[in-house]
Each structure stands twice: as structure tokens, then as C-alpha cells.
Chains A and B, each alone.
Chain A
Amino acid sequence: MSETADHAQAVDSSAGTAEPVLRVSALGKRYSPQGHAALAGVTFDVEDGELLALVGPSGCGKTTLLRLLCGLMLPSEGTVLLHGRPVVRPPREAALVFQDYSRSLFPWLTVLRNVMFPLRRGHSRAWKIDRAEAVLKEMGLHGVARKYPWELSGGMQQRVAIARALVSRPEILLLDEPFASVDALTRAELQDVLLRVHRDVEGRRVTIVHVTHDIDEAVYLADRVLVLSPSPGRVAGSVEVGLPRPRTQTATRSSTHFLEVRNAIHDVISTRRSTIAGTSDKE
């Protein structure tokens, strides 16, 4: 497959074509000319409507990769193509959810205003309020519109952050370890919220790229799991999940297939690890 920087018009992928929404080719990132590479030779596709999980140990460049995908950073090598066009700045079709909700939500704005923030131009105020309130309701947040973020629990704050990401109807949702800062019970809740979001809550499909260090979470949520190995970050393997939807915390997680997939991923990681620990010239 040869990648050409083509000038193709943006095709609405939600029409159900086979064209991947995101194409990443030979992506590399180096923070300084002589420094070591954070990422090298990363190549993968993201299909339309897919929920792709990125897992890997710390230092494997997951966050760097995510920032390259959403145009917050430019690559040193390789390309990221969105609908066939190179990503050089944050695309309007993408939205990002951070791990630290307390620092990404604006503390001087109420929940409602936070969610309304992306809708800055082109609509009447009433429309914006309606839209924001609708998204909040979908997130299961009732009666919090006039409150400030810090008045809510961590899990609710993260739901607000997700609501804010969804309010402008993005095609692609990127999440950077979004559930790492909440407790285990809340995490399970939020995972199911994300599944609902993915499962076509608004009558359209959302493509999701979800970065996590929790393998179980990755398997539970994703259609496919990409495993990254560290130093430099590379794709160590790609594992199809193939579990039926809708998924539940109880049934899905205790199924045999779940365990098989999980073990497959662990195998990929440990193989890579032993390869690294062994001879270095194999890299």
C-alpha cells in the first residue's frame, strides 16, 4: 500500500465505505534532533466506527501517538491521514478527552458553560443551551448544569469532559487514559458510558481511539487492540477482540473468549519484552 499525499476531496466516511478513517504510516517522533525516538515506524489504520484501544507500558509513547493523531504535535517522520488528508493541525472532526479532568475543564465556568464552550460560533444561544443540556442528559448527568466542576465527583467530572467532547458531534473521539484517575467502581461505570457513546447514541457512528494501560479495559471496550512496545514506541501487535456487543461487566468479562484475547495480548507484550531484554541487535 503506497501512501501518496493526495488532494482528494473529503469523503463522508459515515456513508459506509471501506476506506479507513485514519491511516498512520511510518510515523516517527523525536523530540530533539539527537535525542532518542519516542516513536518509530508506527503504521496502522483505524476503520470507520471502530473502537480501537492502544495499550502498552509507560514510556511506550501512547500519549505522544495520540497527540500526533489529533494534530497537537507534528511528526518527525511519516504521516497521519484523516479522510486522506494529512493532519497538520487539530481537525474539526476530532475531539480529545484528557486523563486529568480537573485541569481540562474550566473551573470558572459552570458545567453547562463548559459543555457549551466548543459551540462558540454560528448558533443562537438558546440552541447551544439545548444542545449542551441534551448531551449532558445522555451522559446521565441530571441537575448539574448550574454547578461548578469541582462540586461534582471525579466520575461525574469526567462525564462532563466527555460531554464537552461530544457536543460538537465529532467523528473521532480520542481518549488519553481517561479512566485512570477514578476509582475502580467509577471506572466500570465510565467504561459502560463509553460503550453507549460508541454504540450509536445519536444515530451515527463515532470512531474511538482509546489509550489505556489497563489490558482488561482495552479488551472489554475495543473491537481491536493495538499493542505498543516501548523505547522506541512501535506496534508490537494487533489483536482482534471479536466479542459480541452489547457487552456487560459481568457476562463479557467472565467469558472464555475474553480471557483468550486477554492472554493473547499479554503474550504479545511479554514476547516483546523478552526480545528487548535479549539481544539488542534484533531491534
Chain B
Amino acid sequence: MRALGDIWRVLLGVGVFVGALLVWEIWAGAEESFLVPEASEVLTRAWESWPTSEFLTAVAGSLKRLAAGFVIGAAIGITLGLVMGTSRATRQALDPLVELARATPPIAIVPALVLTLGFGDSMRIALIAFGVCFPVLVNTLEGVRAVSPEARDTASMLHVGRVERVFRIYLPAALPSIFAGLRIALSIGLVMVVISEFAGEGGGLGHYILDQQGQFAYPEMYAGILFLGLLGYGLNVLFRLFERRVLAWHYGATGERNG
């Protein structure tokens, strides 16, 4: 196959994308179903509704809860991962419990959370934290287990104490793996945000989408979904930039992008 120059490749991708939009436009126009508004209508409504305080408050609320849940979930995941990674006894004891909890579709704990924490922010943040902590835990655990025997022996030879070992050797060594887990957790966290907002009261982007659907405001609903996708993409990009800075030593060492 003939290889295209870089610029042409990007143009091709964008062109196909625009083409898809045009197809949508034409088909939706022909269909005239109010369930499928035309691309142009969605974009117009997006332009109108996104800068409104109603929309932005919703987005801010979602981001705030995502941040809180992410931090809590990540902290729990990293801590447990470090403990389980360094202590065989703990790992054996907690393993089935963790596997069970991890495999549970988070929606299943929503009723329990609602009954114990109500419908408000704490329930939502708890749900987000629940979704976030497991990928982080698993990746932290794997990162710690993968520390080379040479590094472990060096630690023994240098009489690095158990606790000191965790922070000075295992944690930095596992950091690339932890970040991979954090990246996955970010996407999952966003999904949890949406689910938690379907369930509870108190605004947010997911709630907004549901609202618009309930009010038959379909272009606004599509616009909301569109924003959600862009938000997810943007967060991912930002996180990767952050990761690049923190793990500069790792990228150099492995010579390639990780993940």
C-alpha cells in the first residue's frame, strides 16, 4: 500500500470524519425524526447551551466529584496495592475479597450506598472511589511484584528496612505501572460519575443528559453526550502530559511510550 505523508494522513482522517458528519446531516434531514436531530442542529445547540451557567455548573459539579472520588479511590488502591504487594500474608488473605469486589459491577453497590449514604454527594463520591480503586490496586500490586530480584537483593544488601523499602524502592519502581492503572481508573471514574448522577440528586453532567432527554430536548441531550466524550478525551490527554513529566526517567529508560 502506498504510504501517505503525515499531513495527508491527518487530512484523510479529518476528511472522513467530516464526511461522516455530512452523511449524518443528510440522513437526519431526510428522516425528519425528532429523535435524530441533524449534526448542524446539535452543534448549534451545543454552541448555545454549553456556555450557559446551568451547563457549566453541572460540568463543574461532575468534575469536582470526579476529583474527590479519584483521589480517594487512588489513595486506597495504591495503599492496598503496596501492602498486598509487599506482604505475602496480606495478599493471600485479601485476595478473594478483592477479586470479588473488583468483579462486582459497581451499579450493584448503588442501592446499598443509597441506603447508607443517601442520595447526595457522599454516595456519588463513594461510588466513584469504588470504581477507581480497583484498577489502581491491581496495577500497583503488579508493579510491586515486578520489581527485579536484583533491586530486592540490593535493598537487602544495603539493609533497607521494610517500611523504607516500600517508599524508596517499591513505590518508585512500580510508578509506571501505577500510572497505567490511574489512566484506566480515570476513564472508569468518568463512567462512575455518569452512573452516580443517573441515580442521585444534585446535578452534574450525567444528570443533565437525563434531564434533557426527559424534557424531549434531544439536540441538547446529544450535545451533552458530545461534551462528555470531549471531556473524557481532554482529561486523558492532560493526564498523559502529567504522566510524561513525572515519569520522564521511565520513558527514557524504556525508550518508548508506555501503555
Q: Are B150 and A106 in contact (CB under 8 A)?
A: no
Q: Residues of A with Cβ closer than 8 Å to B?
A: 67, 70, 72, 90, 92, 94-96, 98, 100, 103-104, 106-108, 117-118, 120, 148-151
Contact of A104 among B148, B159, B249 (CB under 8 A): B148
Contacts of B159 in A (CB 8 A): 90, 92
Q: Give bound CA distance, A106 to B169, whole Å.
A: 8
Contact of A148 among B150, B173, B253 (CB under 8 A): B253
Q: Are B169 and A72 in contact (CB under 8 A)?
A: no
Asked if B172 is at the interface (CB within 8 A of a chain A CB), the reply is: yes
What secondary structure prevails in chain A residues at the interface with B? Answer: loop
Q: How far is the CB of B4 from chain A (nearest CB, A)?
A: 34
Contacts of B252 in A (CB 8 A): 148, 150-151
Q: Are A103 and B150 in contact (CB under 8 A)?
A: yes
Given contacts A103-B151, A148-B253, contact A108 B172 (CB under 8 A): yes
Contacts of B175 in A (CB 8 A): 108
Q: Are A108 and B158 in contact (CB under 8 A)?
A: no
Number of A-B contacts (CB under 8 A): 52
What secondary structure prevails in chain B residues at the interface with A? Answer: helix
Contacts of A72 in B (CB 8 A): 153, 156-157
Q: Give bound CA distance, A118 to B160, whole Å.
A: 9
Given contacts A90-B156, A90-B157, contact A107 B250 (CB under 8 A): yes
Interface residues of B in 139-170 (CB under 8 A from A): 148-151, 153-154, 156-160, 169
Contact of A96 among B153, B249, B253 (CB under 8 A): B153
Contacts of A92 in B (CB 8 A): 159
Contacts of A96 in B (CB 8 A): 153-154, 157
Q: Are B249 and A108 in contact (CB under 8 A)?
A: yes
Contacts of B151 in A (CB 8 A): 103-104, 106
Contacts of B160 in A (CB 8 A): 120
